[in-house]
């Protein structure tokens, strides 16, 4: 499943809904086989996560749903467990992203306090040198001013640039966790969410 950038119209539609499709030869392909957790708590295969998140990002706000094409012989309860496992995985990913965002703001606040204290110290030391006419003191004075403002770069970077990609990622995880999901390939299709009626296929 290459992570190539695609337009929404690269995905198949049913009605006005884009389909994010995954075709499985074996149900276990959907999950990380090295994860010893119970089936419904397993981590997704990294390629499956990358595909789902990338597809939701590419489709944007257009109506969409996830469609799993399951291998023959998959029981209804296994299909429902697979859907529940996907929801649980992305719910946990969203919670983790929320905690990461909280920690980022905490780190930004601490960095801001440290930066302000260091800047104030540099400015105070600079005041002692400003009145001097010695060339070395003038160089040190300008160096302290630059150094003090450089110390403010990290909190400025966090509060201006670093937080919003984290927030966007968390929202993507939440969207995937709450999307309507459908399974096909069973005698009785197992539906999760609204009743839905197939976008491009990702084969695992």
Strand partners, 44: 31
Is residue 140 domain-resident? Answer: yes
Is residue 3 domain-resident? Answer: no
Is residue 64 domain-resident? Answer: yes
Is residue 168 domain-resident? Answer: yes
Does the pLDDT at position 134 exceed 60? Answer: yes
Does the pLDDT at position 1 exceed 80? Answer: no
Residue 184 DSSP SS3: strand
pLDDT of residue 152: 93
Is residue 1 domain-resident? Answer: no
Q: Which residues of 175-198 are buried (b: 16+ CB within 10 A; e: fewer)?
A: bbbebbbbbeebeeebbbeeebee
Contacts 24+ apart (CB under 8 A), 123-130: 123/148
Domain region containing 102: 8-203
- Looking at the structure of the chain, the number of domains it has is 1
pLDDT tens digits for range 158-179:
999 999 999 999 999 999 999 9
Residue carrying the six token digits 């690269």: 10
Q: What confidence tier does 30 reach under pLDDT thresholds 50, 70, 90?
A: confident
Q: 102 or 33: which carries more pLDDT confidence?
A: 102
Does the pLDDT at position 157 exceed 90? Answer: yes
Is residue 57 domain-resident? Answer: yes
Residue 43 DSSP SS3: coil
d(CA 151, CA 119): 7
Record the pTM.
0.76
Is residue 181 domain-resident? Answer: yes
Does the pLDDT at position 190 exceed 70? Answer: no
Nearest to 81 by CA among 38, 50, 48, 120: 38
Mean of all residue pLDDT scores within the chain: 83
């Amino acid at each position: 499943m290459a992570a190539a950038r695609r337009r929404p119209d690269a995905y198949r539609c049913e009605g006005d809904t884009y389909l994010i499709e995954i075709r499985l030869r074996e149900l276990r392909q959907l999950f990380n086989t090295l994860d010893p957790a119970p089936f419904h708590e397993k981590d997704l295969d990294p390629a499956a996560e990358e595909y789902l998140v990338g597809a939701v990002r590419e489709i944007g706000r257009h109506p969409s749903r996830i469609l799993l094409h399951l291998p023959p012989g998959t029981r209804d309860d296994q299909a429902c467990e697979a859907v529940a496992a996907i929801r649980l995985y992305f719910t946990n990913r969203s919670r983790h992203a929320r905690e990461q965002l909280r920690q980022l703001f905490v780190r930004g606040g601490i960095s801001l306090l440290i930066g302000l204290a260091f800047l104030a110290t540099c400015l105070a030391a600079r005041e002692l040198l400003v009145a001097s006419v010695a060339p070395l003191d003038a160089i040190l004075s300008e160096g302290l001013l630059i150094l003090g403002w450089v110390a403010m770069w990290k909190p400025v970077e966090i509060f201006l640039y670093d937080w919003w990609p984290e927030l966007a990622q968390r929202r993507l995880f939440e969207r995937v966790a709450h999307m309507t999901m459908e399974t096909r390939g069973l005698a009785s299709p197992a539906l999760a969410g609204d009743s839905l009626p197939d976008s491009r296929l990702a084969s695992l």
